[in-house]
Structure 1
């Protein structure tokens, strides 16, 4: 069973995360954290889009907000 977990370790360390080793050895903080900032911006854009969609559905009045909408309430 230990070979199974060593295989998973080998997959992630030597293959899937190998491109990230390039960022580890950079001497610039901004350069090393570029990928983090990219993910942050993508997440921020997704959150703003999601909030916009929630506002559209809230303003259209499609959602049933009555207390009796669920039997457990």
Structure 2
């Protein structure tokens, strides 16, 4: 079982995260953080899409906004 987990460790450390080690040792801050900026941009696009969808549903008045409490209260 120990060899199995060491194999997983070797896969992630030496294979999958090798490109990130290259980015970490670059001299330029902007180039080293390119991946982070890509994730930030993807997150911003997703948030704008989500807010647009919320506005569409709000404009159609599909949500039940009646003021009622739960039956157990």
TM-score by length of 2: 0.80
In the alignment, structure 2 segments of 5+ residues that lack a partner are: none
For residues 24 and 46 of structure 2, what CA distance do their matches in structure 1 show? 27
Return closer, same or farther for 1:72/1:32 CA change in 2, 3 Å cut-off. Answer: farther
Task: Tell me the SS of whatever aligns to 2:62.
Answer: coil
Looking at secondary structure, tell me which structure has more helix per residue: 1
Return closer, same or farther for 1:35/1:28 CA change in 2, 3 Å cut-off. Answer: same
In the alignment, structure 1 segments of 5+ residues that lack a partner are: none
Structure 2 partner of 1:6: 6
Structure 1 partner of 2:24: 24
TM-score by length of 1: 0.80
Aligned alpha-carbon RMSD (Å): 2.2
Shift of 1:55: 1.1
Segments of 4+ moved more than 2 angstroms? 64-68, 70-73
